[in-house]
Amino acid sequence: MSDELNVEFQVPFVHRLRFTKDVFGEDQDVLAGLLTSSDENPARVQFWIDQNVAAGAPQLVERLKRFADSRPQEIQRVGSLQFVPGGEEIKNDVHILERMLKVFNVSNLDRRSYVVAIGGGAVLDAVGFAVAIAHRGLRLLRIPTTTLSQGDSGIGVKNSVNLFTKKNWLGTFAVPWGVINDAEMLTTLSNRDFVSGFSEAVKVSLLKSPDVFEQICRDAVDIRNREMDKALPIIKASAEMHLDHITRGGDPFEMLEARPLDYGHWSAHKMEAMSDFSLRHGEAVAIGVAIDTVYSSLEFGLDSGVAQRVMRCLCDLGFSLSDATLNDVETLFRGLEEFRQHLGGRLTLTMLEGVGKPIDVHSVNRKNMLAAIEQVKAYAESRIHVR
Ligand SMILES: NC(=O)c1ccc[n+]([C@@H]2O[C@H](COP(=O)([O-])OP(=O)(O)OC[C@H]3O[C@@H](n4cnc5c(N)ncnc54)[C@H](O)[C@@H]3O)[C@@H](O)[C@H]2O)c1
Ligand SMILES: [Zn+2]
């Protein structure tokens, strides 16, 4: 005879998301308000910055230091500012992870210390992973600096680095202490990276909001031209939909089969790796979303007009929907198995029956998937000729 105890339990989490115009200027109280101390001593805070963000905005470092050092009662800056390589480079080099952990150790950071990570999604993922495993978790405050990380990854509860040339192979789930989406941070972003984030906004709107999808389609050209009165509301809507999914969707740590937020991602992740990460995540997601949307029209009755609109919207935003990786479909299809493995269990993909009507499917009709890829390539070709 054996004893068995199965006890269900819940843990309350708080997700703190703030929107600011200038976090080291007029809105600095927002940041200070999140860096609370648990005793009468000032909060111990260490800042980690994406090198490319610092290079693009030389005054940022001075402003940051001025902010942190002007509040000795509230904030104690620990160690010097730490600079890390931006982009996928930081996620691909496991030695950088080791260096981060060493710095936390010599700085004597503890579970009540804060690490403020300022950077694109890659830096937030990698610093966030180091933060999550040091002492089983320090407090992470993210200041995302790309449209993608402000609208999507910065809000998430995942962090990771790449290993074995596989995306996000090593990582954890961890709820950040707080996230500040600051408009000023986006001003130094290249046009390429500015556009890149909006594929995730298209993705989440297709899953959850026909209205937001319409708004993106309508404003796509203005967004691409960086008209911020059009771009910021979409980033905010995207962030809020992601936040809502995580906090109210019932599966923040992806225990269930379905991962709707990974719509279009089975191919995107593979394309990124196949391109040796020369394709940005957002660029690969644009192609992946286009493919799965056309596939949904061929296989699941999604209106083919919607599929055309999605492709047009993505191209109006400035994405190219063609890439050399699409010519090697055998390798691309291996992405399906890698996607399945990442979650375990049977393959589960999200597809669309309509805008705002996602469905879960467990197999892929290769003939139609190939046809979808061909349609996306042909559309991309036709857009090149139009230009
Ligand atoms: N954790 C998640 O839930 C999740 C979700 C989606 C994507 N991601 C990950 O996010 C990463 C992509 O993030 P991304 O699209 O933000 O790109 P990125 O972090 O790769 O940044 C792109 C480039 O822009 C630079 N940069 C960033 N902000 C800048 C600024 N304000 N000014 C000038 N240069 C700047 C970076 O240094 C980099 O060179 C991928 O690794 C992807 O896997 C994670
Ligand atoms: Zn993504």
What is the end-to-end Cα distance of the chain in Å, rounded? 75
Q: How far apart are CA 239 and CA 345, in angstroms?
A: 29
Give the Cα separation of 343 and 95 in Å (integer): 26
For residue 55, the ligand 1 atom closest to its alpha carbon is 33
The DSSP call for residue 387 is -
Average per-residue pLDDT in the chain? 95
**What pLDDT sits at residue 1?**
67
Neighbours of 12 (CB within 10 A): 4
pLDDT tens readout for residues 112-147? 999 999 999 999 999 999 999 999 999 999 999 999
- Cβ of 146 below 6 Å from ligand 1: yes
Q: How many angstroms separate the alpha carbon of residue 320 from the centre of ligand 1?
A: 18
Residue nearest to atom 6 of ligand 1 (CA): 153
- Tens of pLDDT, residue by residue over 250-293, are 999 988 888 899 999 999 999 999 999 899 999 999 999 999 99
- The rounded Å distance from CA 128 to ligand 1 centre is 13
Q: Which atom of ligand 1 is nearest to the CA of 85?
A: 37
Residue 386: pLDDT band (50, 70, 90) is low
Nearest atom (ligand 1) to Cα of 171: 1
Ligand nearest to the CA of 201: 2
275 touches 324 (CB < 8 A): yes
Give the distance (Å) from ligand 1 centre to CA of residue 368: 32
Q: Say yes or no: CB of residue 185 within 6 Å of ligand 1.
A: yes
Ligand 1 centre distance from Cα of residue 6 (Å): 41
Does residue 116 come out as left (phi exceeding 0), alpha (psi in the -120 to 50 range) or beta? beta
Q: Is the CB of 350 under 6 A from ligand 1?
A: no
Q: What is the average pLDDT across 237-251?
A: 96
Whether ligand 1 lies within 6 angstroms of the CB of 125 is answered as: yes
User: What distance in Å separates the CA atoms of residue 295 and residue 291, rounded to the nearest whole number?
Assistant: 6
Ligand nearest to the CA of 187: 1
Strands 166-173 and 158-163, bridge-based pairing: antiparallel
Answer yes or no: is the C-beta of 121 below 6 A from any ligand 1 atom.
Answer: yes
Structural domains in the chain?
Answer: 17-188 (3.40.50.1970), 191-386 (1.20.1090.10)
Sequence-ordered list of residues with C-beta below 8 angstroms from that of 383, at least 6 positions apart, any chain: 315, 321
